[in-house]
Amino acid sequence: MRDVIVIGGGPAGASAAIYLQRSKLDVLLIMKDHGTLEKTGHIDNYWGFESTMDGKELVEKGLLQAKRLGVTIVEEEVLDIENDMFGGHKFTVKTDKESYEGKTVLLATGQSKPNLRVKGFKEFTGKGISFCAICDGFIYRNKKIGVVGNKKFMSEELDTLSNFTDDIKVFTNANELTVDVDKEVVTDKITEIQGDEVVKKVITENGEHEVDALFIAMGTPSANDFALRMGAMIDKNNIVVDDKFMTNIPGLFAAGDCVGGLLQIAKAVSDGAHAALSLNKYVRAL
């Protein structure tokens, strides 16, 4: 069992992994892509770089730095994280290839992906729009459920929801479906969410679809998705952490954009360093 599993290879995750490795802890960093920075063209305001750089290049440098210092890095997609229900400081991180165990987990997967930018989305979030099948699925037993997504994460959520109802429609929101599903699939773009006190209808370019609930599972799961499933507190789309960067779940830490605050590299790097120093104390006291 690893001391710490860091999820995310951006500024917060790699910075933390570097500090953890240097504290001689057994660290594993799991990452999938370069996150928000992958699409960032010119970075000028992160101190220490004379020339402008693009985000991907900078993230690569950080990963090479972590590797040079001995951090083990695997490029896999995290699909689920389970924590020991008896508080035994055992987290199981399931990826598309392997399963890893850690005494602690640091979530550093960056900002949540943009949500559906359509009319009614904000209004009905928490009023029938949900981000967590395990958390809310049971509320909609035998009801009509819509699931938005097109990848493996969506099919995982679909599996969970299938325990509660058979009446499920999948909305790809005009993205390519990369998994097999045995439910009705709506492939055109979502244009509006309608309802009264709660969600009633998903309007797409070519149709209207009645639903009692709409589960969002676009792209790959974010830190928030994992945190929610484990019962961590979320406030305004940010994972709530204390001044040690620990969530309300013992041993589950979070740092960087996913905890909110200034969405800047400098802050994420600093978060990573702080979280690593807290983790070091925490793990050694276990």
44 within 8 A of 52, measured Cβ to Cβ:
yes
Pick the closer one to a copy of itself by CB: 18 or 216.
18
Stretch that binds a copy of itself, among 58-66, 74-82, 111-119, 138-146 (CB under 8 A): 58-66
Binding test (CB under 8 A) with a copy of itself, winner from 49, 75, 99, 122: 49
Which string of x and - marks every residue 264-283 that binds a copy of itself (by CB under 8 A)? Answer: xxxx-xxxxxx--x------
Pick the closer one to a copy of itself by CB: 110 or 272.
272
Residue position matching structure tokens 């693009």: 54
Pick the closer one to a copy of itself by CB: 69 or 286.
69
> How far is 83 from 85, CA to CA, in rounded Å?
6
For residue 40, state whether it binds a copy of itself (rule: CB under 8 A).
no
Look at residues 49, 45, 74 and name the one whose alpha carbon lies nearest to residue 268: 45
Pick the closer one to a copy of itself by CB: 56 or 189.
56
Q: What are phi and psi of 86, to 5 degrees?
A: -95, 15
Binding test (CB under 8 A) with a copy of itself, winner from 42, 48, 176, 236: 48
104 within 8 A of 20, measured Cβ to Cβ:
no
Which string of x and - marks every residue 16-35 that binds a copy of itself (by CB under 8 A)? Answer: --xx--x-------------
Binding test (CB under 8 A) with a copy of itself, winner from 3, 4, 15, 107: 15
Least gap, CB of 277 to a copy of itself (angstroms): 7
> How far is 258 from 14, CA to CA, in rounded Å?
15
Pick the closer one to a copy of itself by CB: 21 or 125.
21
Two tokens at 198?
A: 């709660």
Two tokens at 177?
A: 């479906």
Cβ neighbours, 10 Å, residue 189: 15
Cβ neighbours, 10 Å, residue 123: 13
Amino acid at 193: I
Residues within window 68-127 making contact with a copy of itself, judged by CB under 8 A: 68-69
* Beta-carbon contacts of residue 163 (< 8 Å; ≥ 6 apart): 137
104 within 8 A of 255, measured Cβ to Cβ:
no
Residues within window 136-195 making contact with a copy of itself, judged by CB under 8 A: none
Least gap, CB of 47 to a copy of itself (angstroms): 4
Query: Using the 8-state DSSP alphabet, how is residue 258 labeled?
Result: G
For residue 8, state whether it binds a copy of itself (rule: CB under 8 A).
no
Contacts to a copy of itself by CB under 8 A:
11, 14-15, 18-19, 22, 44-51, 58, 61-62, 64-65, 68-69, 262, 264-267, 269-274, 277
